[in-house]
């Protein structure tokens, strides 16, 4: 695949994927949230984003071609690892804290209810 | 043509740029994590759903995507030693990039004038921080591009100029990838 071709392929596919995500949402509104449903839409958006990132990495940044040195790939792998730790870890810890906070507020509400009953 | 590209990506500068881009990736990851965590903390102000204008975000996406494409074509033109084509395509990249920044500035000023400024809630702070940092990167990229165009126009298309353009194209394509994440996780997910 020549260089020009790889840019054109990347460009056309990227536009197609962006429009696909957009029209998927329009379909969702048009069918009154029946198809695709919220979880389906979420999964579709994530998959389309990952696909588009991979396409741009290959077609625009030429990752994974022979000319790329191993060091470039190693650095990218490490960055990807840190990204997963930062994003995944933050979400994990914070949702945990949120759940615990919600439990505390329920606990306090129960205490108030008990007190009101006693009054 | 492949070979000249190969040589470029194996230079020290190419590797250094790659390391910078990957560390920038980590910076954006931190901002994305902040956004994801503070997403629901609206403090009685606008929710993500209320501030997302999807057709407008789609327009921004298409403009930035096209500028990434013209940047790639400019890189090819430089490798074929077509200086005029390269400068023309870089100018198109500049115009598209400037349009993107203009669109985003308009979006921000509209939000602020409607009372959804970054100081209103944790969600809005994280929204402006994430999208604004990307916009800042694009703005600095435009400045870099302008300097690059002047450099090539004055000094002609040297090997050094080609390498500079290659480094810029890495940066520009990277910003496009970050925007795809913003479009998906801020704009599309904001609607759900």
Contact A45 B25 (CB under 8 A): no
Q: For residue range B39-62, what is the model confidence (pLDDT) as tens digits?
A: 888 888 999 999 999 999 999 999
Other CB atoms within 10 Å distance of the CB of residue A95: 12
Q: For residue range A28-69, what is the model confidence (pLDDT) as tens digits?
A: 999 998 888 999 999 999 999 999 999 999 999 988 776 657
As a whole number, mean pLDDT of residues A96-104 equals: 70
More confident residue, B65 or A102: B65
Show residues of chain B in contact with A38, CB under 8 Å. 192
**Fold for the domain defined by B2-191:** 1.20.120
Asked if the C-beta of A75 comes within 8 angstroms of chain B's C-beta atoms, the answer is yes
As a whole number, mean pLDDT of residues A82-107 equals: 82
Domains of chain B by residue range? 2-191
**B residues 157-186 closer than 8 Å to A (CB):** 170, 173-174, 176-177, 180-181, 183-185
**A residues 8-37 closer than 8 Å to B (CB):** 10-11, 14-15, 18-19, 21-22, 25
Asked if the C-beta of B65 comes within 8 angstroms of chain A's C-beta atoms, the answer is yes
Query: How close B156 comes to chain A (CA, Å)?
Result: 23
Burial A42-65 (b: 16+ CB within 10 A, else e): eebbeebbeebbebbbbbbbbbee
Q: For residue range B100-146, what is the model confidence (pLDDT) as tens digits?
A: 999 999 999 999 999 999 999 999 999 999 999 999 999 999 999 99
Find out whether B180 and A52 touch, Cβ atoms under 8 Å. yes
- Report how far Cα B178 is from the mean position of its chain's Cα atoms: 7
Q: Taking Cα atoms as reference points, which of A88, A7, A29 lies closest to residue B192?
A: A29
Confidence of residue B11 (pLDDT cuts 50, 70, 90): confident
Q: What is the ipTM of this complex?
A: 0.90
pTM for the full predicted model? 0.89
Asked if the C-beta of B76 comes within 8 angstroms of chain A's C-beta atoms, the answer is yes
DSSP string, B24-59: HHHHHHHHHHHHHHHTT--TTS--HHHH--HHHHHH
Q: Taking Cα atoms as reference points, which of B62, B98, B67, B80 lies closest to residue B183?
A: B62
């Amino acid at each position: 695949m020549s260089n020009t071709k790889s840019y054109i392929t990347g460009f056309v596919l990227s536009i197609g994927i962006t429009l696909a995500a957009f029209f998927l949402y329009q379909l969702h509104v048009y069918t009154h949230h029946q198809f695709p449903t919220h979880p389906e839409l979420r999964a579709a958006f994530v998959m389309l984003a990952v696909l588009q990132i991979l396409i741009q990495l290959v077609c625009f940044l030429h990752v994974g071609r022979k000319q790329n040195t191993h060091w470039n790939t190693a650095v990218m792998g490490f960055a990807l690892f840190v990204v997963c730790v930062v994003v995944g870890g933050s979400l994990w810890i914070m949702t945990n804290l949120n759940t615990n906070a919600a439990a505390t507020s329920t606990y306090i509400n129960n205490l108030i209810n008990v007190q009101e009953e006693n009054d | 043509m492949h070979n000249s590209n190969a040589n470029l990506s194996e230079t020290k500068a190419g590797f250094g740029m790659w390391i910078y881009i990957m560390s920038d990736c980590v910076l954006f990851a931190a901002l994305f994590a902040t956004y994801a965590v503070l997403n629901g903390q609206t403090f009685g102000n606008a929710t993500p759903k209320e501030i997302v204008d999807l057709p407008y975000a789609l327009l921004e996406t298409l403009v930035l995507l096209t500028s990434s494409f013209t940047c790639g074509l400019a890189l090819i033109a430089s490798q074929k030693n077509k200086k005029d084509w390269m400068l023309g395509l870089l100018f198109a990249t500049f115009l598209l990039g400037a349009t993107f920044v203009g669109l985003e500035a308009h979006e921000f000023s509209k939000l602020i004038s409607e009372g959804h400024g970054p100081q209103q809630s944790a969600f809005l702070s994280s929204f402006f921080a994430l999208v604004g940092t990307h916009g800042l990167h694009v703005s600095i990229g435009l400045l870099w591009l302008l300097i690059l165009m002047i450099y090539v126009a004055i000094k002609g298309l040297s090997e050094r100029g080609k390498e500079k353009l290659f480094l810029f194209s890495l940066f520009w394509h990277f910003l496009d990838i970050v925007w795809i994440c913003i479009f998906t996780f801020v704009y599309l997910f904001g609607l759900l």
